[in-house]
């Protein structure tokens, strides 16, 4: 058995794990910061509103603030918001802060109703408090990134001494291990166990591990396992029972992808989801409400622009202002997509040539419309009709669908969701012409990832990135 010993400055090891924690006093400080911030915001909201209406401050305000603060930190604590590996995940923190904040206010409202105390609460104060408190909690999350980032990188807040076990020497510069320290783990020993799974061999090795680890006062053990080493894990687990500390597995990418998927208990075992089903009724409702709300608002606000562009296209070259072309939507169902005409031709047959840079078919006004994606705006009507969504895999002409469907295995997976005006591939740079199969495969890869990982938050993120990305990308002509 090979033994490698690492000091606090010698290794920069693995991915985040749920057990990582802060120094307990510092964790208490962060929890207290949230609680005091909420209390301060409520007091400020009460004083501000009472001053606005020229009346005395509500005496029950401090009590209501205490309730909301206690509920917020309690839910956040049990939801893992204050865990080390979560603190630097800004997007996750912001999402959780907003959700838990709204839940805490809802609990306050329900409690006040059940206790018949609604008369003691000022509606104006609650409204101001909801806005100020939410903004304060969001701002505090940004402050965490600035205050904790450097400290985490230097390992000042590490409070988890661990022993790392593996069946072979490890490359600590690999992505799988490089962030171990900044996520709260201090590797004080690294043992390379023999791949020989003989009982006597492992029993002797585990005794040596326990003896040498005892002097380091470790908190837990981490076992780095690859896919081909899984058969050794159950038997090794029997010998590791002699270890009194917690033991966690650090899997390779294949195992990590599998265990991160949803599962369903089945007769004492589990069925792991390899392919997610179409969106649930509630998920479809969320997506549809977002589509209709934003599309309707955009059409109303952009009506002058749409009418102006339609006139310019109509008189700029012969032909209709709106170009219609057959595309495939959800589950391959055909529909007619609307776009402002940007070319002198209106191809919709079995063979369609993609637009290229300096394409002679593109009109003068059409070139500008394509570069700014204004030509896509009529698709807001497709969104209202339900043929498309604001976010989803971009639909291709039927001729291109038929061609790529035969040579790219995952291509058909794009039809598991409605096509969109913008998509995950587009905001990641895969927009415009795809002259090679490799480029199309990469675009499909991003589309498939979106379908598998959809959430309403992801849609909002893509929409926000689209606003800046579309105007500055140069791949569209």
327 strand-pairing partners: 335, 397
E-strand stretches of 70-226: 161-166, 186-192, 220-225
Report which of 74, 73, 49 is spatially closest to residue 61, judged by C-alpha positions: 49
**pLDDT of the residue at 399:** 78
* Fold of the CATH domain 2-16+160-272: Rossmann fold (3.40.50)
Give the pLDDT confidence score for residue 59 in this predicted structure: 44
DSSP code, position 217: T
Please check whether residue 253 is in contact with residue 279, taking contact to mean a CB–CB distance below 8 angstroms. no
Dig out the tokens for 335 from the structure: 């529909």
Contact 459, 402 (CB under 8 A): no
pTM: 0.53
Helix (H), strand (E) at residue 13:
none
Give residue 8's pLDDT: 34
| Residue partners of 383: CB distance under 8 A and separation at least 6 | 291, 292, 295, 389, 390, 421
Residue with tokens 């409690």: 111
pLDDT of residue 58: 46
Q: Helix H segments across 123-184?
A: 123-153
Asked whether 454 and 424 are in contact (CB, 8 A), the reply is no
Are residues 327 and 415 in contact, defined by beta-carbon separation less than 8 angstroms? no
pLDDT (tens digit, 0 to 9) for every residue of the chain, 477 residues total?
A: 554 443 333 333 333 333 344 455 677 888 899 999 999 998 888 888 777 664 544 444 577 888 889 999 999 988 888 876 677 778 888 888 999 999 888 888 888 777 766 666 777 888 888 899 999 999 998 888 777 766 555 455 556 778 888 888 887 767 677 767 666 677 888 888 876 656 677 777 777 877 777 766 777 888 888 888 888 888 777 777 777 788 888 888 888 878 877 788 887 888 888 777 778 888 899 999 999 999 999 999 999 999 999 999 888 788 888 888 888 888 888 999 998 888 766 555 455 555 555 566 778 888 888 777 888 899 999 999 999 999 999 988 887 788 888 888 788 888 889 999 999 988 888 776 666 788 888 889 999 889 888 889 899 999 988 887 665 555 444
Secondary structure of residue 164 in the 3-state scheme? strand
Shortest CA distance to 408 belongs to which of 447, 444, 354? 444
- Contact between 75 and 104 under an 8 Å Cβ cutoff? The reply is yes
Rg of the chain over Cα atoms, rounded to whole angstroms, equals 29
What per-residue confidence (pLDDT) applies to 197?
A: 57
Alpha carbons 387 and 449: distance in angstroms, whole number: 21
Number of CB atoms found within 10 A of residue 236's CB: 20
Question: What pLDDT was estimated at residue 357?
Answer: 57
Cα–Cα dist 41/273, whole Å: 44
Q: Which helix (H) or strand (E) holds 253?
A: helix 253-259
How many Cα atoms within 13 Å fall on the side-chain side of residue 114?
6
C-alpha span between 181 and 178 (Å, rounded): 8
Q: Pairing state of beta strands 389-391 and 420-422? A: parallel
> H or E element: which one contains 403?
helix 398-407
- Among 417, 429, 416, 415, residue whose Cα is nearest residue 465: 429
Q: Could you count the other beta carbons within 10 Å of the beta carbon of residue 233?
A: 14
Please report, for the chain, the start and end positions of each structural domain, with discontinuous segments joined by +: 2-16+160-272, 24-153, 281-472
């Amino acid at each position: 058995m090979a033994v490698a010993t690492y000091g606090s400055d010698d290794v920069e090891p693995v991915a985040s794990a749920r057990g990582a924690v802060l120094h307990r006093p510092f964790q208490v400080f962060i929890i207290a910061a949230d609680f005091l911030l909420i209390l301060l915001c409520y007091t400020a909201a009460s004083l501000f509103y009472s001053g606005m209406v020229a009346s005395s401050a509500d005496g029950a305000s401090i009590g209501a603030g205490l309730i909301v603060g206690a509920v917020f930190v309690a839910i956040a604590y049990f939801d893992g918001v204050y865990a080390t590996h979560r603190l630097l995940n800004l997007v996750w923190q912001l999402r959780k802060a907003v959700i838990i904040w709204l839940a805490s206010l809802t609990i306050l409202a329900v409690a006040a109703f059940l206790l018949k105390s609604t008369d003691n609460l000022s509606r104006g104060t609650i409204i101001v408090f909801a806005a100020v408190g939410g903004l304060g909690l969001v701002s505090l999350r940004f402050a965490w990134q600035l205050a904790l980032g450097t400290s985490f990188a230097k390992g000042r807040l590490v409070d988890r001494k661990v022993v790392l076990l593996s069946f072979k020497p490890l490359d600590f510069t690999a992505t799988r291990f490089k962030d171990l320290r900044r996520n709260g783990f201090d590797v004080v020993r690294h043992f390379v166990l023999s791949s020989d799974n003989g009982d006597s061999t492992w029993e002797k090795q585990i005794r040596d591990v326990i003896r040498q680890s005892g002097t380091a006062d470790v908190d837990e053990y981490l076992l780095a396992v690859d896919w081909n080493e899984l058969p050794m894990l159950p038997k090794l687990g029997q010998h590791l029972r002699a270890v009194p500390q917690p033991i966690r597995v650090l899997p390779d990418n294949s195992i990590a992808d599998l265990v991160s998927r949803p599962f369903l208990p089945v007769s004492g075992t589990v069925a792991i989801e390899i392919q997610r089903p179409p969106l649930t009724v509630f998920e479809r409702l969320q997506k549809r409400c977002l589509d209709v709300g934003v599309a309707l608002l955009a059409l109303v606000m952009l009506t002058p622009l749409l009418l102006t562009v339609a006139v310019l296209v109509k008189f700029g070259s012969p032909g209709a202002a709106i170009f219609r072309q057959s595309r495939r939507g959800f589950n391959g169902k055909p529909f007619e997509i609307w776009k402002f005409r940007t070319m002198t031709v209106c191809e919709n047959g079995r063979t369609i040539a993609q637009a290229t840079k300096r394409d002679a078919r593109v009109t003068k006004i059409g070139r500008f419309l394509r570069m700014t994606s204004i030509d896509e705006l009529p698709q807001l009507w497709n969104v209202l009709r339900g043929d498309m969504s604001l976010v989803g895999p971009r639909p291709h002409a039927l001729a291109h669908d038929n061609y790529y469907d035969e040579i790219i295995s995952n291509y058909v997976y794009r039809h598991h969701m409605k096509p969109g005006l913008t998509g995950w591939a587009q905001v990641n740079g895969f927009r415009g012409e795809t002259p090679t199969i490799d480029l199309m495969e990469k675009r499909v890869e991003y589309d498939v990832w979106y379908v598998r990982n959809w959430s309403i938050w992801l849609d909002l993120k893509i929409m926000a990135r689209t606003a800046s990305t579309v105007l500055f990308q140069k791949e569209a002509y």
